Structure 1
Amino acid sequence: MIKNFLNSRPNIPLLFFLSGVSGLIYETVWFRMLIRVFGTTLEATSTVLAVFMGGLALGAVIAGKKADGAKNPLKAYAALELLIALSALSATLAMAGLPEFIAPLLPEGGTAGAEAGTALLRVLVSAGVLAIPTALMGATLPLLVSALSTGTADSGGKISRLYALNTLGAALGVLAAGYLLIAHAGEKGAALLAAALNLAIALRVMLSSPQERQPAPPAAETAEGRRGYRLMLLILGASGFTALALEVLWARLLVLTIGNSVYAFSAMLASYLLGIALGSLYAGERADDGDTLPLLAKTQAALACVALAGLGAFYLAGTGATDPKYMYSPLTQASDIFHLFGWSLIIIMPATALMGFFFPLAAQAGVRAAGRVGAVGALYGANTVGTILGSLITGFILIPQLGTKFSFILAAILAALTGTALASLAGGEAKRRFTPWLAGAALAAAAAFAVPDPVFSTINRRFQLHNPGLLAFHAEDRGGAVDVLFTGGGEIKSLYINGLAVSGNGEAGKLMSHFPLLFQASPKSMFIIGLGAANTLRSGVLHGVKVTVAELLPAVREAGPLFAGNWEKSLAAGRFEVRLNDGRNELLRSRRKYDAIIVDVTPPIYSSGAVNVYSRDFFKIARSRLTETGVLSLWIPLPCFESDYYMIIRSLKDVFPEVNVWAFPGQAGFLALASAQPLESRPKVLAGRIKRGNVARELPFVTPEYIYATHAMGTAEADELSAGYPAVTDDRPHTEFPLARLMAYSPMWFQVPEGR
């Protein structure tokens, strides 16, 4: 049956596979583009995801109503693919120009009204650019199921196999975009390739001269059929909720073992989609059976058990993953890519295979109840609406209130309850036979309560082995797990996010705050991206300037007083403010000019999203928000590829006339200062400013002589050495994609090289 299906003319299954490839390439590119405009906060990313998924649902519902009456659904499908290509390219070009267009419209941050206005603008703009192409994408499945089915009796197999192949294509699209296309062709190049696939699909279908058909008359509706159909809409909505809730939760767990690089995210999402594809493909052999409700009920109970087993497995494996690299980055060499996939496949794929098996069987049950093939559109739409709610509620409510472990248990309970509802709907013997399955799910949930919190246990185990001390703070908020560790009798304070060392009360943060202020006559304001351990904030306050900090995670702000003893007093005096927002987005919507902008993002350089503040496009935003004598202070952490270092310097030089670099003894990184004016170099003036800024209270060794001795590169040398390297841009985010350099063993600096 599968062979006959694959050989159907004009090979629609293969074409729908390619359509899945293009769809996930678009989603990857668009998501990157929009979060640069609206920020990487959970609110922003959830809005973009909800609009994207909502467009798919809308298109599916509309197409489902029209599909059964279409005389030539294949011709309509070809038109859809053509329109997808055109609208997707238009959307991509529109999004590329959004930052300049939308910056004047974004309200200045810091007030509840501004946040509400920003949220409204996010929805309107996201819908404006995404609604048409995503609705067109969502319309494809109902049309193709209608085109290939002879009626409701055989539509289940068509749904499952089309869904499987499209999802398999989506998995390939994720890998292609995340590992190859954006790295080598850029975001626009990746979108252009996706559009070429859509155009090729449209051309192939049209060349096959699809024939018109006589639409089948609609089946007579019955009260029982309407009731069954509505119940299946609810069932599919609930299963969609569970599916995305689990995806969000898996991401929270796996970041502890596979990190937060673009490769890690791509491996996780591809594993998720691959499981769905395999499960759906297998479901094709059962989808057209008679009563599938008992099987659907057991599938949901099995999903609850498997998901909870995965939670336990992660606890055992996670607490055993104690290599020190997990406290920096799990990706340090090319072979680590296999490690990323291993974790993702083991933890995620068994459960998503059950999800993939469930959807086509449930959709076919709904189609039969409705008596028309086009009903698959509304059923798919209901499932998609469920996924939107699952993502939003899990991220915004469940994790902050319950934590990852108990959110997992709640999601599993929902799956078991969905199975119970299906068993009740089946009634009779099926309900009795479901009892052992429900008991198994209940036992799994009870056992999960006994499993220690896997997030806390994994992080704490690494602390005990490699950096024993007092865990002074632990919290899970909507953006990640935040920990503060005191060692050395409380003298050394370190901040960890998702188990990765981010910041501490060492000297580097103080240097990157003091230096840009020392080179200015009378600085009055400073903007800091990332609160971290509050070093840069505290040093800025010593200079008497007003400090604005953009911090992504509420828990990091909550932990701030642990690093700064006079936090509450300084905050009450109005000497600083902390805004919960992505730093680039906060600058983009700012109307202020700052004397210093400090950028110190989570290492390594290739961590997901870091490139957004290492690109030439960001440096242009930063320069536009600096005063005439203002200075951008950029920390470039080590380890770092030599090429990445020079690409960042090149990007700075493309925007700022003056670029100077310092390398400090004992510090794992470089401090780059970029400005429009030459920096002050007179020793007496610098000595006076060191005194003015109370620098000796924190860094008594900083003198004019120290500033000269640690100077590693001036503007002329920066020009000469970086000239042969490409700039990092939003479209070509070279530093975020290190795989080719890892495979080629490109030179990497683990400490400041001699002569720098």
Structure 2
Amino acid sequence: MGRRSAVAACLVFSGLSALVYQIIWVRLLGFTFGTTTEAVSTVLAVFFGGLALGNLWAAARLSRVQRPLRVYALLELGIGLYALASLPLLQGLASVDVLIGAGQGPWTRTGIRLLGSALLLLPPTIAMGATLPVVARGLVTEDASVGRWSALLYASNTLGAVLGAYLCGFWLIPTLGLTRTVVAAGVVNLGVAAAVLALAGGLRAAAMPTPVAATVPAEGGTRGRAVFLFFFGVSGFVAIGYEIIWSKVFGIVMEGTLYGFAAVLSAFLLGIALGSFLIAPRVDRIRDLPRAFGWLHAAIAVAVAVGIRAVPDLPYWMQRLSGLEGIDPLHRLYLLVVPIVLVPTALFGAAFPVLVRIIARQAAAAGRGIGVATAVNTTGSILASLVVGFLWIPAFGMDRSLEILLLLDGGVALLALASFDGVQVDRAVAGQLLRAPQLADYRAQLERELASQRYRREGRSAVVTVYELPTHRMLRTNGLREAAYALIPPYYTTESMLLGVLPYLLAQGEARRGLVVGLGGGNTLDALLHTRLERIDLVELERAVIDALDVFAAGRENPLHDPRVEVIVNDGRNELLLAAHDGRLAYDVIASQPSHPRRIGAASLFTEEYFALARSLLSPGGRFALWVSGFRVDSESLLAIVTSFERIFPGSLFFDGSYGRARTDFLLIGGREPGVIDPVLMAQRMREPRLAALLGRFGFEAVEDVLAGFEGPGADFARISPEARNTDDLPFVETRVPRDMRTNYLDFGVIESQVDASAPALPPLSGPVDVARIA
């Protein structure tokens, strides 16, 4: 391998580490900022904004750089050292955000996060953005190979990003955890710096031309270059718009897991890298570059429109693929994603070197051309992440948003074809391009029960639907069932009722203030409203879930209309952080009902750090209740949650939420101190008129009926797997459960058989109960 090829190979590792940082830093900041669309989009906008600034900085200064490869080595050295120092900086930013943001409105908090993220992320991302143009300045030495080398360098860098997305999601986070993954990526940057310094000695950059204006293509001059840069900005907007919609669609089918996210992102980047590699040997021989650019975008629009035809059948193919032998269950996801995204993304990848060739014909200007092109393209990407995710999808839905993107893509194709080479676009061809959305029936609903659908809203973080079936209503987010409400008594499930009522019954002293994390179908909130709590704060991430309750709760009183309820639209964990720092009164009852622990976002509400945060908000004698679904959860994952819970809540109590019927829904109860249950106080609360009526519908008439669901102290279950932990840094459950959800089966009897036979059959009590009735 020659020196030039070796330096180009270093770009693979630069791209790998950059993508790792993007995933990990966004994830780490999400623990503090929350996982709302606004919070995540803010961090991503800053990250990509830094890349664009780095592109522009390099493009502006490359004319004065005599040893570009040494500059590249210094950039990699700076990125690596900054990455190694980033973890304490991130923790400091988290403290500042909570300290300043507490008590502020959502727009003020977004501004604070934007400023804090910019201060923290701009230095390394500017350096990352500068690397590709700088390397191009050092390696592209012949005018006749500007396009080929631009394509190869861009493809190499993107291939590294593919590896970063794949390794980060499928191996690094599950194996090393977040902290050690960042350290490993930092070491990679330092290794690249050392390798480039060793290789740089024998390479010389091409001399800069004079005047610089000579690099502008003859056809169209400066105006032509500016117009095609604008087209490339729109191209970046459209590409990220497609990615956002594809991510949401595949997220529904793949149930929002880390592996699904990694599969979509890496497949998207793989197509871009592949397209650049394939066009590299040909791009310098293309005579009519504007026309080639136009036809590539015409092909993109057609490929997306055709590929989207498969969307309605994705759940079917997902089920079929689950039975495929010889392929790891996680990698079967690629069989679902690649056929839809590979062709259009490869065409996007091929368009990049064509654009660079349009705006830079001389070798010495290749670095500047790449810098300007990537900056404009990245700017379009930033706008798309804000406009498509923030505005279009909530306002128009994914279908209409996709139609707008396809029209933009077709418009770019038409304008590029007609602009500078005198080509007269056939009227029939133009009509087909502008009608590209109609080439595919992409409006097919992902849900099959259209006839029973009573509500559908595409919110910022989820697609929320409500169905009316013969015996019950069902609420789903992104296709996954979250709540059910029967049309006959007792109306909702035992576990959803007890999630709210049980911590109230077990709380010591007066119980006045409650908190519910996650609305679901409102059943737990409704149950708590049957108690004598004076105020209940309800924290829900998705506004569309709140609006859905008018339909889901039809025929009964909507619990959100109760004057005791304060609705807070925010990420649950972020809201608890703010509550812990703004001097709010402690809670006597906290009921936490996040979605399933395998889903991105919800997974962070099953970790030790979240449990510690909830514990800090409890009053003396207060109780925290956590719902854990056993659906597609294996024994090791359940025990990891219980063990982590017991670490934070010593003396915790483990209840079977279904009370022996299915044994797949469990409730963990903890307090600031190991609690002793007062059966007299429990009985007194159970006699409260409204609560007694509610409990009676479920057959709970005495204290013993409630205690019958007690499975044992949390400590006894924690002893089965004492080393098991589920933490922010090493999310064991989030990375383990999705590995083969179709075969995961929880046999609670096996877990129960491992509990010490001498374990107490009753929780600690301060008074007598009728043991015979419990048995």
| TM-score between both structures, scaled by the size of structure 1 | 0.90
| Structure 1 position 716, deviation (Å) | 4.5
> In the alignment, is the contact (CA less than 8 A) between 1:226 and 1:370 conserved in 2?
no
Structure 2 match to 1:91: 86
Structure 1 match to 2:773: none
Q: Secondary structure of the residue that 2:284 maps to in structure 1?
A: coil
Structure 1 match to 2:414: 420
Counterpart selection for 2:63 from 65, 68, 79: 68
> In the alignment, is the contact (CA less than 8 A) between 2:482 and 2:520 conserved in 1?
yes
| Structure 1 position 100, deviation (Å) | 4.1
Q: Distance in 1 between matches of 2:269 and 2:748?
A: 37
| Structure 1 position 606, deviation (Å) | 1.6
Q: How is 1:56-135 mapped onto 2 (pairs within 5 angstroms)?
A: 56-108=51-103, 114-135=105-126
Structure 2 match to 1:502: 482
Which string of whole-angstrom CA distances, capped at 9 and with x for unpartnered residues, describes residues 351-397 of structure 1? 10110011121122122399933132122100000011112111122
Structure 2 match to 1:305: 302
In structure 2, give the amino acid aligned to 1:95: L
Relative distance call for 1:214 and 1:719 in structure 2 (3 A) is closer
Q: Distance in 1 between matches of 2:379 and 2:92?
A: 30
> In the alignment, is the contact (CA less than 8 A) between 2:475 and 2:484 conserved in 1?
yes
Counterpart selection for 1:480 from 452, 458, 462: 462
Structure 2 match to 1:519: 506
Structure 2 match to 1:627: 619
Q: Distance in 2 between matches of 1:648 and 1:396?
A: 34
Q: Distance in 2 between matches of 1:95 and 1:160?
A: 35
Q: Distance in 2 between matches of 1:642 and 1:18?
A: 38
| Structure 1 position 400, deviation (Å) | 1.6
Q: Is the deviation greater in 271-280 or in 391-400?
A: 391-400
In structure 2, give the amino acid aligned to 1:710: G
> In the alignment, is the contact (CA less than 8 A) between 1:680 and 1:686 conserved in 2?
no
Q: Secondary structure of the residue that 2:331 maps to in structure 1?
A: helix
> In the alignment, is the contact (CA less than 8 A) between 1:528 and 1:550 conserved in 2?
yes
Relative distance call for 1:246 and 1:128 in structure 2 (3 A) is same
Structure 1 match to 2:769: none
Q: Secondary structure of the residue that 1:602 maps to in structure 2?
A: coil
| Structure 1 position 470, deviation (Å) | 3.0
Q: Distance in 2 between matches of 1:199 and 1:254?
A: 36
Q: How is 1:238-253 mapped onto 2 (pairs within 5 angstroms)?
A: 238-253=234-249
| Structure 1 position 522, deviation (Å) | 1.8
Q: Distance in 1 between matches of 2:326 and 2:391?
A: 37
Q: Secondary structure of the residue that 1:304 maps to in structure 2?
A: helix
Structure 2 match to 1:532: 520
Q: Distance in 2 between matches of 1:287 and 1:134?
A: 29
Q: Distance in 2 between matches of 1:239 and 1:195?
A: 32
Q: Distance in 1 between matches of 2:315 and 2:188?
A: 44
Q: Is the deviation greater in 382-391 or in 688-697?
A: 688-697
In structure 1, give the amino acid aligned to 2:254: I
Structure 2 match to 1:55: 50
In structure 1, give the amino acid aligned to 2:720: L
Structure 2 match to 1:575: 564
Q: Distance in 1 between matches of 2:90 and 2:689?
A: 43
Structure 2 match to 1:3: none
Q: Distance in 1 between matches of 2:559 and 2:331?
A: 48
> In the alignment, is the contact (CA less than 8 A) between 1:54 and 1:385 conserved in 2?
yes
Relative distance call for 1:571 and 1:338 in structure 2 (3 A) is closer
| Structure 1 position 43, deviation (Å) | 0.5
Structure 1 match to 2:391: 397
In structure 2, give the amino acid aligned to 1:304: A
| Structure 1 position 720, deviation (Å) | 3.2
Q: Secondary structure of the residue that 2:211 maps to in structure 1?
A: coil
Q: Secondary structure of the residue that 2:201 maps to in structure 1?
A: coil
| Structure 1 position 225, deviation (Å) | 2.6
Q: How is 1:127-526 mapped onto 2 (pairs within 5 angstroms)?
A: 127-150=118-141, 152-211=143-202, 213=205, 215-221=207-213, 224-289=220-285, 290-315=287-312, 317-318=313-314, 320-321=316-317, 335-368=328-361, 372-373=365-366, 374-428=368-422, 430-432=423-425, 437-448=429-440, 451=441, 453-454=443-444, 457-459=445-447, 461=448, 463=449, 470-489=452-471, 492-505=472-485, 506-520=493-507, 521-526=509-514
1:609 aligns with 2:601: yes
In structure 2, give the amino acid aligned to 1:384: T
Over the aligned positions, Cα root-mean-square deviation in angstroms equals 2.8
Q: Secondary structure of the residue that 2:624 maps to in structure 1?
A: strand
Relative distance call for 1:49 and 1:568 in structure 2 (3 A) is farther
| Structure 1 position 477, deviation (Å) | 1.8
Relative distance call for 1:624 and 1:367 in structure 2 (3 A) is same
Q: How is 1:657-672 mapped onto 2 (pairs within 5 angstroms)?
A: 657-663=650-656, 664-667=659-662, 668-672=664-668
Q: Secondary structure of the residue that 2:599 maps to in structure 1?
A: coil
User: How much identity, in percent, do the aligned residues show?
Assistant: 30
In structure 2, give the amino acid aligned to 1:85: G
Q: Distance in 1 between matches of 2:560 and 2:666?
A: 30
Structure 1 match to 2:10: 15
Structure 1 match to 2:716: 717
Q: Is the deviation greater in 234-243 or in 589-598?
A: 589-598
> In the alignment, is the contact (CA less than 8 A) between 2:137 and 2:205 conserved in 1?
no
Q: Distance in 2 between matches of 1:494 and 1:696?
A: 26
Q: Is the deviation greater in 630-639 or in 651-660?
A: 651-660
Q: Distance in 2 between matches of 1:123 and 1:61?
A: 21
In structure 2, give the amino acid aligned to 1:410: I
1:654 aligns with 2:642: no
Which string of whole-angstrom CA distances, capped at 9 and with x for unpartnered residues, describes residues 328-372 of structure 1? x99999843233111110111111011001112112212239993
1:27 aligns with 2:17: no
Q: Secondary structure of the residue that 2:695 maps to in structure 1?
A: coil
| Structure 1 position 45, deviation (Å) | 0.9
> In the alignment, is the contact (CA less than 8 A) between 2:649 and 2:674 conserved in 1?
no
Q: Distance in 1 between matches of 2:236 and 2:200?
A: 37
Relative distance call for 1:693 and 1:250 in structure 2 (3 A) is farther
In structure 1, give the amino acid aligned to 2:78: L
> In the alignment, is the contact (CA less than 8 A) between 1:225 and 1:369 conserved in 2?
no
In structure 1, give the amino acid aligned to 2:247: A
| Structure 1 position 263, deviation (Å) | 0.4
Q: Is the deviation greater in 663-672 or in 261-270?
A: 663-672
> In the alignment, is the contact (CA less than 8 A) between 2:297 and 2:413 conserved in 1?
yes
> In the alignment, is the contact (CA less than 8 A) between 1:258 and 1:343 conserved in 2?
no
| Structure 1 position 633, deviation (Å) | 0.5
Structure 2 match to 1:706: 705
> In the alignment, is the contact (CA less than 8 A) between 1:531 and 1:550 conserved in 2?
yes
In structure 1, give the amino acid aligned to 2:464: V
Q: Distance in 2 between matches of 1:196 and 1:731?
A: 19
> In the alignment, is the contact (CA less than 8 A) between 1:600 and 1:634 conserved in 2?
yes
In structure 2, give the amino acid aligned to 1:731: D
Q: Distance in 2 between matches of 1:102 and 1:392?
A: 21
| Structure 1 position 318, deviation (Å) | 3.1
Q: Distance in 1 between matches of 2:714 and 2:436?
A: 63
| Structure 1 position 626, deviation (Å) | 1.3
> In the alignment, is the contact (CA less than 8 A) between 2:174 and 2:730 conserved in 1?
yes
Q: Distance in 2 between matches of 1:746 and 1:485?
A: 27
Q: Distance in 2 between matches of 1:687 and 1:200?
A: 67
| TM-score between both structures, scaled by the size of structure 2 | 0.88
Q: Distance in 2 between matches of 1:87 and 1:129?
A: 10
Point out where structure 1 has 5 or more consecutive residues left out of the alignment. 1-5
